[in-house]
Structure 1
Amino acid sequence: MVEIKNLYKRFGKNEVLKGISLTIKEGKVTAILGPNGSGKTTLIKSILGLVVPDMGSILVKGTNIKNNWIYRKYIGYVPQFAIFPENLTLNELINMLIDLRKDGYNPKIRKMFLEGFGLEKYLNKKLKTFSGGTKQKVNILIAFMFDPDIFILDEPTVGLDPVSSSFLKDRIFEEVKKGKLIILTSHIMSEVEEVADELIFLLEGKIYVRGTVREIIEKSGEKNLERAIAKLMEKGYHA
């Protein structure tokens, strides 16, 4: 479980998070959405410990993360943009991370993703030669192969071909069945509608709407999530 209590964050004069409180539970996919500047990136980085809030607390598996880095071993993170040491081969990168992290490494998961993404042929190639889509596959492989309890997936399907995207979604569904906690951000509303159980929509640093995907679509009176979110944003900007 991830519990966020009364979270505030300001950068200079810009107050980015304004008292965010929420509980994200295991066994489902929770999508955190919002327009640029809504605070969703700051919220995610706060959970990861990359941003230190000005006020409030974050608990992961019941433990306050302040001044505590050990909790990160429970998290598999797929950032939006993959940056790797370019002179390493994929195999060297994987082995380096196994040596550094050790805990949780699962060779069966590694094999599954190497095969599912067609990455075996890249194992002895340098990362600087990889396309953006291939780097994203590596990103995802690294996040999953340590079998974490919590996944934070930031635009995970960006750059993926349809086959790889479907493979990833199937793996997400499998992790949910295992009782894992998954946080997803995406600008692809059809993807959110397909994968997410719950949706948290941020606007100007506050939770503007929260509910299941079905609830939000039905309350909006629209036929799909993309139109429902568009209506939410329109109302929010004119509120």
Structure 2
Amino acid sequence: MITITNLHKKFGDNQVLQGVNLTINQGVLAILGPNGSGKTTLNKCILSMVYPDQGSIEIKGQNIKNQWKYRENIDYLPQIANFPNNITVIELIQMIKDLRHDQAKDHQPLVNLFKLTPFLHKKLNKLSGGTKQKVNLLLTFMFDNPILILDEPTTGLDPAAMITLKQLILNEKKKGKTILVTSHIMSFVEEVSDELIFILEGKIYFKGTVDQLKETTKQTTFEHAIANLLID
């Protein structure tokens, strides 16, 4: 469980998070909102990549302030993966295993799943954006930690890879994991999420299920329900 209390974060004159209170349990929580609403900043605060100006975050009852060990229990897919350009895919995989101190981890099932075998010995600067994203997903799902944070995981994926990603997320959910997902693709969110929050200008305007959102906004489709929040 992740408990976030009265979280504030400001960059210069831009107040990105304004008193966020949130409890995140097992299952898939979708974090939605327009660009600049605070979604990625919230994720980075949980990872201690960004330090909040005020408030607290607890994971399994432990405050994460000035801690780092807890991050060993989190698998993170960043919105933009900045890989070294001059190494191959297989070299990157081995490097990440070294950093995570887990050379025994078998990457081959995910290589097969995302059809990456032809790219293993190609340098990363020779790959398309979609293939880089598949490599990014492989690195994220290669380990087996109780918390998954996926920031725009669908970016650049073809329809087949999107189906593969959905199944991976649902499989991880069955293991009892806590999974945070940000995405602008509403059909994807509707299929994988148990709950969602909608952030606007650093504040949570809604928390609940897709059906609850439709009922609250009196809309018949998820897309129209989200649009209704933006209009209101």
TM-score, length-scaled by structure 2: 0.96
CA distance in 1, matches of 2:171, 2:44: 25
1:175 aligned residue: 172
Residue 40 of structure 2 corresponds to residue 67 of structure 1: no
Asked if the contact 1:86/1:127 (under 8 Å) is kept, the reply is yes
* Equivalent residue letter for 1:157: T
Q: How does 1:5-44 map to 2 (within 5 A)?
A: 5-26=5-26, 28-44=27-43
Distance 1:95 1:14, change over 3 A: same
Secondary structure at the aligned position of 1:9 is classed as strand
Indicate conservation of the 8 Å contact 2:94/2:103, yes or no: no
Partner of 2:203: 206
Alignment of 1:159 onto 2:166? no
Q: Distance in 2 between matches of 1:230 and 1:9?
A: 26
User: Of 129, 141, 146, which aligns to 1:144?
Assistant: 141
Aligned 8 A contact 1:16 1:39 in 2? yes
* Letter matched to residue 14 of structure 1: N
Q: Which amino acid aligns with 2:124?
A: L
**Counterpart in the other structure of 1:95:** 94
Amino acid at match of 1:227: H
Offset of 1:106 from its aligned partner?
A: 3.1
* Equivalent in the alignment of 1:56: 55
For residue 191 of structure 2, give the secondary structure of its aligned residue in structure 1. Answer: helix
CA drift of 1:136 comes to 0.3
For structure 1, the 5+ residue unaligned runs are none
Question: Post-superposition shift, 1:14?
Answer: 2.0
Question: Which segment drifts farther, 86-95 or 217-226?
Answer: 217-226
Partner of 1:78: 77
Q: Match of 1:130, as an amino acid? A: L
Work out which of the residue numbers 125, 129, 134 in structure 2 matches 1:128.
125
For 1:187 and 1:147, locate their aligned partners in 2 and report how far apart those are by CA, in whole Å. Answer: 26
Aligned length: 232
2:55 is paired with a residue of what secondary structure?
strand
Distance 2:95 2:38 in 1: 33
1:177-224 Cα offsets, whole Å, 9 max, x none, are 100110000111111111111010111111111111111012222121
Aligned equivalents of 2:68 and 2:149: distance in 1? 16
Say which of 181, 184, 196 aligns to 2:193. 196
Structure 1 consecutive aligned stretches of length 4 or more whose deviation exceeds 4 Å: none
Determine if contact 2:97/2:103 at 8 Å carries over to the other structure: no
1:215 aligns with 2:209: no
